[in-house]
A and B are shown apart, each in its own frame.
Chain A
Amino acid sequence: MRRWLAVALAVLTVGGVFGAGRFVQPVAAQQMGDFDSQETHAKVKDFIVYAPEQQTAVAGKRSVLELNFRVLDGLHVNSHTPTSELLIATTLTLDAAPGIKMEQPVYPAGATYSFSFAPNEKLDVYSGGFTVKLPVVAQAGDRTIQGKLRYQACDRAACYPPKTLPVQVAIAAR
Protein backbone atom coordinates (compact mmCIF):
# COMPACT_ATOMS: atom_id res chain seq x y z
CA MET A 1 0.00 0.00 0.00
CA ARG A 2 2.82 2.34 0.96
CA ARG A 3 4.45 1.69 -2.40
CA TRP A 4 1.34 2.86 -4.30
CA LEU A 5 1.01 5.90 -2.12
CA ALA A 6 4.60 6.72 -2.93
CA VAL A 7 3.93 6.38 -6.65
CA ALA A 8 0.84 8.55 -6.37
CA LEU A 9 2.82 11.16 -4.46
CA ALA A 10 5.55 11.09 -7.07
CA VAL A 11 3.00 11.53 -9.85
CA LEU A 12 1.40 14.43 -8.02
CA THR A 13 4.80 15.98 -7.49
CA VAL A 14 5.71 15.74 -11.15
CA GLY A 15 2.28 17.02 -12.09
CA GLY A 16 2.79 19.91 -9.75
CA VAL A 17 5.98 20.86 -11.53
CA PHE A 18 4.62 20.55 -15.01
CA GLY A 19 1.00 21.28 -14.44
CA ALA A 20 0.80 23.89 -11.70
CA GLY A 21 -2.28 25.98 -12.16
CA ARG A 22 -3.28 23.93 -15.16
CA PHE A 23 -6.15 21.70 -15.99
CA VAL A 24 -6.60 18.54 -14.00
CA GLN A 25 -7.43 15.86 -16.51
CA PRO A 26 -8.70 12.50 -15.32
CA VAL A 27 -6.60 9.90 -17.01
CA ALA A 28 -5.15 6.58 -16.08
CA ALA A 29 -1.82 7.03 -14.39
CA GLN A 30 1.28 6.59 -16.51
CA GLN A 31 4.86 5.89 -15.97
CA MET A 32 6.45 9.05 -14.79
CA GLY A 33 8.83 9.12 -17.71
CA ASP A 34 5.91 9.76 -20.01
CA PHE A 35 5.53 13.29 -18.78
CA ASP A 36 8.19 14.46 -21.18
CA SER A 37 5.83 13.87 -24.07
CA GLN A 38 2.67 15.89 -23.79
CA GLU A 39 1.33 14.73 -27.13
CA THR A 40 1.81 11.11 -26.24
CA HIS A 41 0.38 11.65 -22.82
CA ALA A 42 -2.73 13.27 -24.19
CA LYS A 43 -3.56 10.36 -26.46
CA VAL A 44 -2.18 7.21 -24.89
CA LYS A 45 -3.82 6.04 -21.73
CA ASP A 46 -2.79 2.99 -19.81
CA PHE A 47 -4.92 0.69 -17.79
CA ILE A 48 -2.00 -0.69 -15.80
CA VAL A 49 0.26 1.30 -13.53
CA TYR A 50 3.85 0.22 -13.03
CA ALA A 51 5.61 1.10 -9.80
CA PRO A 52 9.21 1.81 -10.86
CA GLU A 53 10.98 0.99 -7.61
CA GLN A 54 14.74 0.95 -7.13
CA GLN A 55 15.74 -2.72 -7.07
CA THR A 56 18.69 -4.06 -5.17
CA ALA A 57 20.73 -7.14 -5.95
CA VAL A 58 23.81 -8.82 -4.60
CA ALA A 59 26.51 -8.34 -7.21
CA GLY A 60 27.36 -11.53 -9.06
CA LYS A 61 24.66 -13.55 -7.27
CA ARG A 62 21.28 -14.66 -8.49
CA SER A 63 18.62 -12.26 -7.24
CA VAL A 64 14.91 -12.28 -7.87
CA LEU A 65 13.52 -8.84 -8.62
CA GLU A 66 9.85 -8.12 -8.04
CA LEU A 67 8.15 -5.87 -10.57
CA ASN A 68 4.87 -4.55 -9.25
CA PHE A 69 1.96 -3.65 -11.47
CA ARG A 70 -1.57 -2.59 -10.70
CA VAL A 71 -4.60 -2.92 -12.94
CA LEU A 72 -6.90 0.05 -12.49
CA ASP A 73 -10.04 -0.54 -10.48
CA GLY A 74 -12.94 -2.00 -12.39
CA LEU A 75 -10.72 -3.50 -15.05
CA HIS A 76 -8.98 -6.80 -15.60
CA VAL A 77 -6.34 -8.01 -18.04
CA ASN A 78 -5.70 -11.49 -19.33
CA SER A 79 -3.15 -13.37 -17.29
CA HIS A 80 0.02 -14.69 -18.87
CA THR A 81 -1.87 -17.90 -19.54
CA PRO A 82 -5.30 -16.93 -20.89
CA THR A 83 -7.95 -19.52 -21.51
CA SER A 84 -7.90 -19.07 -25.27
CA GLU A 85 -5.08 -18.68 -27.74
CA LEU A 86 -7.11 -15.89 -29.34
CA LEU A 87 -6.80 -13.77 -26.21
CA ILE A 88 -3.75 -11.60 -25.64
CA ALA A 89 -1.57 -12.77 -22.77
CA THR A 90 0.00 -10.25 -20.44
CA THR A 91 3.65 -10.52 -21.41
CA LEU A 92 6.75 -8.74 -20.18
CA THR A 93 9.59 -8.45 -22.67
CA LEU A 94 12.93 -7.06 -21.60
CA ASP A 95 15.84 -5.83 -23.65
CA ALA A 96 19.29 -7.22 -23.08
CA ALA A 97 21.29 -4.97 -20.76
CA PRO A 98 25.06 -4.84 -20.20
CA GLY A 99 26.20 -6.41 -16.96
CA ILE A 100 22.95 -8.30 -16.37
CA LYS A 101 21.95 -11.86 -17.11
CA MET A 102 18.23 -12.41 -17.02
CA GLU A 103 16.12 -15.52 -16.75
CA GLN A 104 12.57 -15.71 -18.03
CA PRO A 105 10.04 -13.65 -16.04
CA VAL A 106 7.89 -15.61 -13.64
CA TYR A 107 4.25 -14.63 -13.78
CA PRO A 108 1.65 -15.04 -11.06
CA ALA A 109 -1.33 -17.32 -11.53
CA GLY A 110 -4.45 -15.58 -12.73
CA ALA A 111 -7.90 -15.61 -11.19
CA THR A 112 -11.02 -17.01 -12.80
CA TYR A 113 -13.41 -14.42 -14.18
CA SER A 114 -16.68 -14.63 -16.08
CA PHE A 115 -18.85 -12.00 -17.68
CA SER A 116 -22.24 -11.96 -16.00
CA PHE A 117 -24.09 -12.78 -19.21
CA ALA A 118 -22.03 -15.89 -19.81
CA PRO A 119 -21.13 -17.38 -16.43
CA ASN A 120 -19.92 -20.62 -18.01
CA GLU A 121 -17.27 -18.90 -20.10
CA LYS A 122 -14.22 -18.71 -17.87
CA LEU A 123 -11.34 -16.30 -18.31
CA ASP A 124 -8.01 -16.25 -16.50
CA VAL A 125 -7.20 -12.69 -15.49
CA TYR A 126 -5.22 -10.31 -13.33
CA SER A 127 -7.01 -7.56 -11.48
CA GLY A 128 -5.74 -5.26 -8.77
CA GLY A 129 -2.04 -5.65 -8.03
CA PHE A 130 0.14 -8.35 -9.51
CA THR A 131 3.85 -9.03 -9.33
CA VAL A 132 6.11 -10.40 -12.03
CA LYS A 133 9.34 -11.90 -10.70
CA LEU A 134 12.54 -11.52 -12.65
CA PRO A 135 15.56 -13.61 -11.71
CA VAL A 136 18.80 -11.83 -12.60
CA VAL A 137 22.52 -11.94 -12.00
CA ALA A 138 23.85 -8.40 -12.06
CA GLN A 139 27.45 -7.28 -12.05
CA ALA A 140 28.37 -4.62 -9.50
CA GLY A 141 27.14 -1.15 -10.32
CA ASP A 142 23.98 0.68 -11.22
CA ARG A 143 22.15 -1.16 -13.96
CA THR A 144 19.04 -0.46 -15.96
CA ILE A 145 16.81 -2.80 -17.88
CA GLN A 146 14.36 -1.46 -20.44
CA GLY A 147 11.32 -3.41 -21.40
CA LYS A 148 7.62 -3.37 -22.04
CA LEU A 149 4.50 -5.03 -20.78
CA ARG A 150 1.92 -5.96 -23.38
CA TYR A 151 -1.60 -6.49 -22.15
CA GLN A 152 -5.21 -6.16 -23.11
CA ALA A 153 -7.75 -4.81 -20.65
CA CYS A 154 -11.48 -5.23 -20.27
CA ASP A 155 -14.09 -4.06 -17.84
CA ARG A 156 -17.19 -6.03 -16.96
CA ALA A 157 -18.77 -5.53 -20.38
CA ALA A 158 -16.27 -4.24 -22.93
CA CYS A 159 -12.65 -4.55 -23.96
CA TYR A 160 -10.01 -2.04 -24.93
CA PRO A 161 -7.38 -2.47 -27.61
CA PRO A 162 -4.08 -4.08 -26.66
CA LYS A 163 -1.61 -1.73 -24.99
CA THR A 164 2.12 -1.68 -24.39
CA LEU A 165 3.42 -0.15 -21.18
CA PRO A 166 7.08 0.89 -21.05
CA VAL A 167 8.90 -0.64 -18.13
CA GLN A 168 12.24 0.48 -16.72
CA VAL A 169 13.96 -1.50 -14.01
CA ALA A 170 16.75 0.26 -12.11
CA ILE A 171 19.04 -2.09 -10.21
CA ALA A 172 21.72 -1.25 -7.68
CA ALA A 173 24.03 -4.29 -7.54
CA ARG A 174 26.38 -4.13 -4.57
Chain B
Amino acid sequence: MLWAGWHNLRERRLALERARESHMALVPDNGKASAAGQNTAQGTSQPDLQGKAAPAFTLVDLNGKKVSLKDYKGRPVLVNFWATWCAPCKLEMPWFEEFRKKYGPQGFEILGIAEDDAGKDEIAKAVKRINVSYPILLGDNKVAPAYGGIDYLPESFYVDRNGVVETQTSGLGSKDEIEANIQRLIGAGSAPSTPTKTAATPAASGL
Protein backbone atom coordinates (compact mmCIF):
# COMPACT_ATOMS: atom_id res chain seq x y z
CA MET B 1 0.00 0.00 0.00
CA LEU B 2 2.94 2.28 0.47
CA TRP B 3 3.39 2.22 -3.27
CA ALA B 4 -0.10 3.60 -3.73
CA GLY B 5 1.25 6.88 -2.45
CA TRP B 6 4.15 6.82 -4.87
CA HIS B 7 1.83 6.26 -7.77
CA ASN B 8 -0.04 9.36 -6.85
CA LEU B 9 0.76 12.46 -8.88
CA ARG B 10 0.81 14.88 -6.02
CA GLU B 11 3.03 12.75 -3.85
CA ARG B 12 5.24 12.13 -6.82
CA ARG B 13 5.75 15.83 -7.30
CA LEU B 14 6.68 16.20 -3.66
CA ALA B 15 9.14 13.34 -3.90
CA LEU B 16 10.70 14.89 -6.98
CA GLU B 17 10.98 18.18 -5.19
CA ARG B 18 12.74 16.46 -2.32
CA ALA B 19 15.09 14.76 -4.76
CA ARG B 20 15.88 18.06 -6.40
CA GLU B 21 16.59 19.75 -3.12
CA SER B 22 19.70 17.64 -2.82
CA HIS B 23 20.92 18.94 -6.17
CA MET B 24 20.64 22.65 -5.75
CA ALA B 25 22.68 24.76 -8.12
CA LEU B 26 22.84 28.52 -8.39
CA VAL B 27 21.60 29.60 -11.76
CA PRO B 28 20.64 32.90 -13.33
CA ASP B 29 17.08 33.91 -12.64
CA ASN B 30 15.31 34.64 -15.87
CA GLY B 31 12.13 35.54 -14.08
CA LYS B 32 10.34 32.41 -15.18
CA ALA B 33 10.79 30.39 -12.03
CA SER B 34 7.55 29.03 -10.66
CA ALA B 35 6.51 28.92 -7.07
CA ALA B 36 8.21 26.26 -5.02
CA GLY B 37 6.36 22.98 -5.02
CA GLN B 38 4.49 23.69 -8.23
CA ASN B 39 7.08 22.39 -10.61
CA THR B 40 7.66 18.96 -11.97
CA ALA B 41 11.14 17.54 -12.30
CA GLN B 42 11.42 19.31 -15.62
CA GLY B 43 10.62 22.64 -14.11
CA THR B 44 7.34 23.03 -15.89
CA SER B 45 4.00 23.50 -14.29
CA GLN B 46 1.70 20.52 -14.66
CA PRO B 47 -1.99 20.98 -13.97
CA ASP B 48 -4.04 18.46 -12.11
CA LEU B 49 -6.80 17.46 -14.50
CA GLN B 50 -8.70 15.40 -12.00
CA GLY B 51 -12.35 16.39 -11.91
CA LYS B 52 -12.00 18.36 -15.14
CA ALA B 53 -13.09 17.56 -18.65
CA ALA B 54 -10.48 15.46 -20.41
CA PRO B 55 -8.90 17.54 -23.17
CA ALA B 56 -10.29 16.55 -26.54
CA PHE B 57 -7.98 15.11 -29.16
CA THR B 58 -8.08 13.54 -32.56
CA LEU B 59 -5.06 11.44 -33.43
CA VAL B 60 -4.09 8.85 -35.97
CA ASP B 61 -3.71 5.20 -35.03
CA LEU B 62 -1.14 2.77 -36.39
CA ASN B 63 -3.44 1.98 -39.31
CA GLY B 64 -3.78 5.62 -40.26
CA LYS B 65 -7.32 5.86 -38.95
CA LYS B 66 -8.40 9.02 -37.12
CA VAL B 67 -9.46 8.40 -33.54
CA SER B 68 -11.05 11.00 -31.28
CA LEU B 69 -11.63 10.83 -27.56
CA LYS B 70 -15.18 12.00 -28.18
CA ASP B 71 -15.77 8.75 -30.09
CA TYR B 72 -15.73 7.06 -26.69
CA LYS B 73 -18.17 9.33 -24.93
CA GLY B 74 -20.36 7.22 -22.68
CA ARG B 75 -17.58 4.69 -22.07
CA PRO B 76 -14.93 4.58 -19.35
CA VAL B 77 -11.58 5.16 -21.06
CA LEU B 78 -8.01 4.93 -19.87
CA VAL B 79 -5.82 7.39 -21.78
CA ASN B 80 -2.24 6.21 -21.32
CA PHE B 81 0.84 8.10 -22.51
CA TRP B 82 3.84 5.88 -23.17
CA ALA B 83 6.99 5.60 -25.29
CA THR B 84 9.05 2.81 -26.78
CA TRP B 85 12.03 3.83 -24.61
CA CYS B 86 10.03 3.77 -21.39
CA ALA B 87 10.65 0.52 -19.54
CA PRO B 88 7.94 0.93 -16.87
CA CYS B 89 5.42 1.77 -19.59
CA LYS B 90 6.12 -1.54 -21.23
CA LEU B 91 5.68 -3.32 -17.94
CA GLU B 92 2.17 -2.03 -17.35
CA MET B 93 0.88 -2.26 -20.92
CA PRO B 94 0.34 -6.03 -20.78
CA TRP B 95 -1.61 -5.45 -17.57
CA PHE B 96 -3.78 -2.96 -19.42
CA GLU B 97 -4.38 -5.55 -22.10
CA GLU B 98 -5.49 -8.05 -19.49
CA PHE B 99 -7.84 -5.54 -17.87
CA ARG B 100 -9.26 -4.56 -21.22
CA LYS B 101 -10.30 -8.16 -21.79
CA LYS B 102 -11.69 -8.40 -18.27
CA TYR B 103 -13.61 -5.13 -18.22
CA GLY B 104 -14.28 -4.65 -21.92
CA PRO B 105 -17.79 -6.09 -21.55
CA GLN B 106 -18.51 -3.14 -19.25
CA GLY B 107 -17.48 -0.71 -21.95
CA PHE B 108 -13.94 -0.14 -20.74
CA GLU B 109 -11.42 0.89 -23.40
CA ILE B 110 -7.80 1.95 -23.46
CA LEU B 111 -6.22 4.49 -25.75
CA GLY B 112 -2.43 4.34 -25.73
CA ILE B 113 -0.78 7.51 -26.97
CA ALA B 114 2.82 7.10 -28.08
CA GLU B 115 4.81 10.17 -27.05
CA ASP B 116 7.81 9.12 -29.01
CA ASP B 117 10.21 10.40 -31.61
CA ALA B 118 10.44 6.91 -33.02
CA GLY B 119 8.67 6.51 -36.32
CA LYS B 120 5.40 4.70 -36.81
CA ASP B 121 7.14 1.51 -37.85
CA GLU B 122 9.27 1.42 -34.71
CA ILE B 123 6.23 2.06 -32.56
CA ALA B 124 4.29 -0.67 -34.34
CA LYS B 125 7.20 -3.04 -33.85
CA ALA B 126 7.26 -2.28 -30.13
CA VAL B 127 3.51 -2.73 -29.84
CA LYS B 128 3.76 -6.11 -31.50
CA ARG B 129 6.51 -7.13 -29.14
CA ILE B 130 4.62 -5.89 -26.07
CA ASN B 131 1.63 -7.77 -27.46
CA VAL B 132 -1.19 -5.36 -26.86
CA SER B 133 -4.24 -5.00 -29.10
CA TYR B 134 -5.91 -1.85 -27.82
CA PRO B 135 -5.74 1.26 -30.03
CA ILE B 136 -2.32 2.87 -30.15
CA LEU B 137 -2.37 6.46 -31.30
CA LEU B 138 0.51 8.56 -32.52
CA GLY B 139 1.06 11.66 -30.42
CA ASP B 140 1.16 15.03 -32.10
CA ASN B 141 2.47 18.33 -30.82
CA LYS B 142 -0.84 19.25 -29.19
CA VAL B 143 -2.07 16.36 -27.12
CA ALA B 144 0.76 16.23 -24.57
CA PRO B 145 0.60 19.97 -23.80
CA ALA B 146 -3.16 19.67 -23.46
CA TYR B 147 -2.62 17.01 -20.81
CA GLY B 148 -0.13 19.06 -18.86
CA GLY B 149 3.08 18.53 -20.76
CA ILE B 150 3.69 14.84 -20.00
CA ASP B 151 7.17 15.45 -18.64
CA TYR B 152 7.69 11.86 -17.64
CA LEU B 153 6.17 8.52 -18.53
CA PRO B 154 4.00 6.62 -18.01
CA GLU B 155 1.12 8.95 -17.28
CA SER B 156 -2.48 7.81 -17.24
CA PHE B 157 -5.80 9.61 -17.22
CA TYR B 158 -8.89 7.63 -16.28
CA VAL B 159 -11.74 9.33 -18.14
CA ASP B 160 -15.28 8.51 -17.05
CA ARG B 161 -18.40 8.12 -19.16
CA ASN B 162 -19.04 11.85 -19.00
CA GLY B 163 -15.59 12.69 -20.33
CA VAL B 164 -14.28 13.80 -16.96
CA VAL B 165 -10.86 12.79 -15.62
CA GLU B 166 -11.70 10.60 -12.64
CA THR B 167 -8.12 9.74 -11.71
CA GLN B 168 -4.70 10.89 -12.92
CA THR B 169 -1.56 8.89 -12.23
CA SER B 170 2.13 9.26 -13.00
CA GLY B 171 4.70 6.53 -12.96
CA LEU B 172 4.38 2.80 -12.66
CA GLY B 173 1.86 1.66 -10.09
CA SER B 174 1.07 -1.81 -8.90
CA LYS B 175 -1.19 -4.02 -10.97
CA ASP B 176 -3.70 -4.10 -8.13
CA GLU B 177 -3.77 -0.35 -7.93
CA ILE B 178 -4.34 0.00 -11.65
CA GLU B 179 -7.20 -2.47 -11.47
CA ALA B 180 -8.70 -0.57 -8.55
CA ASN B 181 -8.56 2.62 -10.61
CA ILE B 182 -10.31 0.88 -13.49
CA GLN B 183 -13.00 -0.55 -11.24
CA ARG B 184 -13.63 2.85 -9.75
CA LEU B 185 -13.72 4.37 -13.22
CA ILE B 186 -16.29 1.88 -14.42
CA GLY B 187 -18.44 2.72 -11.44
CA ALA B 188 -18.06 6.44 -11.96
CA GLY B 189 -19.70 8.80 -14.39
CA SER B 190 -23.11 7.14 -14.53
CA ALA B 191 -24.48 9.94 -12.38
CA PRO B 192 -23.46 13.62 -12.60
CA SER B 193 -19.72 13.53 -12.29
CA THR B 194 -18.38 13.40 -8.76
CA PRO B 195 -14.74 12.48 -9.19
CA THR B 196 -13.23 10.45 -6.42
CA LYS B 197 -10.22 11.91 -4.71
CA THR B 198 -9.05 8.72 -3.10
CA ALA B 199 -6.74 7.75 -5.91
CA ALA B 200 -5.28 11.19 -6.22
CA THR B 201 -4.64 11.81 -2.58
CA PRO B 202 -3.68 8.52 -0.98
CA ALA B 203 -0.42 10.14 -0.11
CA ALA B 204 -2.14 12.15 2.53
CA SER B 205 -2.79 9.00 4.46
CA GLY B 206 -0.30 6.63 2.91
CA LEU B 207 3.09 8.28 3.10
- A residues contacting B by CB (< 8 A) are 11-12, 14-16, 18-19, 22-30, 35, 38-39, 41-43, 45, 72-74, 84, 86-88, 115-118, 121, 123, 152, 154-162
Q: Which of B46-54, B160-168, B172-180, B186-194 contacts A (4 or more CB under 8 A)?
A: B172-180
A23 to B154, CA, bound (A): 32
Structural contact, B3 and A30, CB atoms closer than 8 A: no
Q: Which residue of B lies closest to A152 (CB)?
A: B85
- B residues contacting A by CB (< 8 A) are 3, 6-7, 12, 16-17, 19-30, 32-33, 41-43, 83-91, 117, 126, 129, 151-154, 170-175
Structural contact, B88 and A73, CB atoms closer than 8 A: no
Chain A at the B interface: mostly helix, strand, loop or mixed?
A: loop
> Known: A26-B24, A117-B173, A118-B91. Is A158-B30 also a contact (CB below 8 A)?
no
Structural contact, B25 and A29, CB atoms closer than 8 A: yes
Structural contact, B7 and A19, CB atoms closer than 8 A: no
Q: Which residue of B lies closest to A157 (CB)?
A: B171
A157 to B164, CA, bound (A): 25
Structural contact, A157 and B21, CB atoms closer than 8 A: no
Structural contact, A73 and B87, CB atoms closer than 8 A: no
Residue numbers in B under 8 Å from A29 (CB-CB): 23, 25
Pairs of residues from A and B, 10 with the lowest C-beta to C-beta distance, nearest first: A15-B26, A157-B171, A158-B171, A23-B29, A22-B29, A26-B20, A158-B152, A159-B86, A118-B91, A38-B30
Structural contact, B26 and A26, CB atoms closer than 8 A: no
Residue numbers in B under 8 Å from A12 (CB-CB): 25-26
A3 to B25, CA, bound (A): 16
Chain B at the A interface: mostly helix, strand, loop or mixed?
A: loop
How far in angstroms is the closest Cβ of chain B from A158?
4
- Name 9 interchain pairs, CB-CB below 8 A, sorted by A: A12-B26, A25-B29, A35-B28, A72-B23, A155-B19, A156-B6, A157-B88, A161-B153, A162-B117
Residue numbers in B under 8 Å from A73 (CB-CB): 19, 22-23
A44 to B55, CA, bound (A): 26
> Known: A27-B43, A117-B173, A117-B174. Is A159-B87 also a contact (CB below 8 A)?
yes
